[in-house]
Structure formats: C-alpha cells, structure tokens
Amino acid sequence: MTEDIITMIEGRVGRIRLNRPKAIHALTKDMCSAMIATLIEWSDDPAVEAVMIDHAEGRGFCAGGDVRMLAESGSTDGADARAFFHEEYRLNHLLFTYEKPIIAFMDGITMGGGVGISQPAKYRVATENTRFAMPETAIGLFPDVGGGWYLSRLPGRVGQFLALTGARMDGAECKYLGLASHYCPSEKLEDVKAQIAARPDRIEGILGTAGASVPEARVADNLLTINRHFASDRLEDILASLEADESEWAQTELATLRTKSPQACKVSLRQLALGAVMTDFADEMRMEYGIAAHVVVRPDFIEGVRAVLIDKDNAPKWNPDTPEGVTDEMIDTIFAPMPEGEEWTPLAA
Ligand code: QUE
C-alpha cells in the first residue's frame, strides 16, 4: 500500500491522514484505493466508532487530484484518467453513504479532490486557514467529485458562482454557506482530535465547545448580487448581466470568467442544473464519470493543465474560445451516457 496515506486507530476512532506534502496532498489513484480499503475494513470493526480525516504535515488539506497524470493520459487514450476518476468517485460515494460518523478537518487549501473527501462528511471543520474552491473551469475541467450535488444545494446561486469563477472561500465563508458544519481555530485542533478519539459519542458537543465565535463572512455582502448576475443557466446571460453592471465587483468577476474555458463553464452550468434535481448521489457520480471521460480527451483540459500547472503562463488558448462557439450539440456529446459496460458503478453495498 502507498505511504501517501497514513491510517491508524486512536482511542475509539479510525484516523485517515493524507501524507503527500510535496503536492499539497493531491489525491492519486493509489491514495483513493488505500482509503477505500481502510474504510471498508473499519465499517464492521466495532473498535472504530467514527473516522477522522485530516492531513499529516505541511500546508493544505488537499489541493485536488493528480491532474498532470490525467492530462498526460488525456493526450493519449484517456484510459488511466478514467481509471482514476472511477476510483476517486467510488471513494466519494463510499464516504457519502458511510454508516459511521466522519469528521473532515479542512485546515488549509481544500480544493477539487479535497472537496470530494470533505463534503460527504457529516462533520466538516473549517479554520482560519481554510481556502475552499472548485477551480476546475481554469483547466477546462468541471467541478466534479460530487460538485454538481453540493454546489447546486448551496443558497441561491452561490454554487453556480463558485463553479464558474473558482472563487476561494475562507473558513468563515464556508461556515456561513454550510460548506463547513463547524468553525474551529487551528490552535485547538490537536486537542479537539484527542477529545473526539476519547469520546466519539460526543463529537457534536466537542466541536460546538471548541467553536467559539466565527469571523464575519465577506460573501454574505455579495449574495444578492451573485443571485442576480448568476441567475441564468446560460453562460451568455451571466456574461451579459455582468457586462451591464459597471460596479468594480461585476467587472472583476467578468474579467475572471473570461479567463475560464467556455466549454467548461457550459458543462458546469448543465451539471449543476441536473445535479440539483437528483435524489441519489450515485446518479450524480455516474453522470460526472461520463462527463469526465469525455472532457479529459478534449483539447481544453490538456491546454488548461499546460497553461496553469505545467508552463504556468496562465494564457490558455481555449477551443472553442467564445461562449457562442460552444454549441448545445457539443455539450450534448459531453453528457452522453457511457457505453454499456463502461459506466461508473458504486462499490457493492
Ligand atoms: C484548477 C484545478 C486544479 C489546480 C489548479 C487549478 C486541480 C489540482 C491542482 C493541483 C495543485 C497542486 C498540486 C497538484 C494539483 O491545481 O484540480 O498535484 O500539487 O489538482 O487552477 O482544477
């Protein structure tokens, strides 16, 4: 098994610690497999009453996934990329349906794949270090790992705003929006974890007591503006709404949106619209797997990873390079179900 995941039983709880500090604990397929194996083992182990997920050392909880590998795979046949997504989404779904309480500590960067392993937890602890985002439209991807489920269930149109712009939320904003269930200063985390390990029947009280006061959430001031400008599921409408608003906020968000992949933005809007009305999380993951399989072999993903993470010129050449260039037919193709026998399936119950 991989050394990038540390697992242990401490007191009455199981602990899963991400341990790949050189990549801000971004997830590899082996890390997902190791977490799945451990969670399955603990599911019928009476010595494990709850599971805590955090990161072992260094900054950040989890920066996402192994996107360089994904882009390399996407530039050939995409098989390794599909295998990664299949395993990662199985982990996301296992966490979502897990019978024992899970506590995720979002103490630092929590983006992409990190969101996928923290949002399904019943207890999601934010701190003053939390930097939450779904930044995938910057690399031609879309807010996967269940993003279509979580983001579409946020207040108003905040989810669409986060999906399209990749805006970062701090710990107070996460608490305000419900992305975090609790807020706790990082200096108290070690003590909180020790208390939970000793008394997992008192998680709620322990987190509540440690919580103290939450700083003000800046995003609260912009909610009405966000709801108004991001009201439509059509990218062209959102851009037109921002263009018509001369305020600094609108012009900044407009400039941000224009750097993102138009294809990725349109995919995200449809994904959230469909995810909003789903009643089974497995349906969301099945849909996302189909989207991912189509999107990884398209030019925007490979170009986005090149521009943002490899060459770091931050000058991606999107294809198509305008919202109007991305047709509904193109999006239909991306949302086409996988061929029979190639669909995503959850782990057997
Ligand atoms: C958009 C993304 C990702 C990103 C940057 C974006 C993403 C991701 C990473 C990332 C960051 C640091 C690492 C790493 C991956 O960055 O999904 O392995 O060490 O995983 O603008 O979607």
At 103, which amino acid appears? I
* The predicted structure's pLDDT at residue 197: 98
Give percent of the chain above pLDDT 90.
Answer: 97
Its pTM stands at 0.97
Q: Is 275 a catalytic residue?
A: no
Pocket test for ligand 1, best of 309, 310, 314 (most atoms within 8 A of CB): 309
Pick among 3.40.630.10, 3.90.226.10, 3.20.20.150, 3.40.50.11440: CATH of 5-334: 3.90.226.10
Distance 210 CA to ligand 1 centre (A): 31
E strands present in 191-341: none
- Asked if pLDDT for residue 148 goes beyond 80, the answer is yes
- Asked if pLDDT for residue 240 goes beyond 90, the answer is yes
* The predicted structure's pLDDT at residue 210: 87
**Candidate list 14, 65, 140, 159, residue with the active-site label:** 65
**Candidate list 14, 78, 108, 113, residue with the active-site label:** 113
Residue nearest to atom 8 of ligand 1 (CA): 64
Q: How confident is the model at residue 242 (pLDDT cuts 50, 70, 90)?
A: very high
Q: How confident is the model at residue 58 (pLDDT cuts 50, 70, 90)?
A: confident
Q: How confident is the model at residue 298 (pLDDT cuts 50, 70, 90)?
A: very high
Query: Do 146 and 119 touch, CB atoms closer than 8 A?
Result: yes
Query: In degrees, to the nearest 5, what angle opens at C-alpha 114 toward C-alphas 113 and 120?
Result: 95
Domain-wise residue ranges, the chain: 5-334
Q: How confident is the model at residue 348 (pLDDT cuts 50, 70, 90)?
A: confident
Cα distances (Å, whole numbers) of residue 102 to 2, 30, 124, 157, 333: 22, 21, 8, 28, 37
- Mean pLDDT in residue range 221-232: 98
**Candidate list 88, 107, 136, 253, residue with the active-site label:** 136
Mean pLDDT of the chain: 97
- Asked if pLDDT for residue 1 goes beyond 80, the answer is no
Name all residues whose Cβ lies below 6 A of ligand 1: 23-24, 26, 63-67, 112, 135-136, 138-139, 141, 308-309
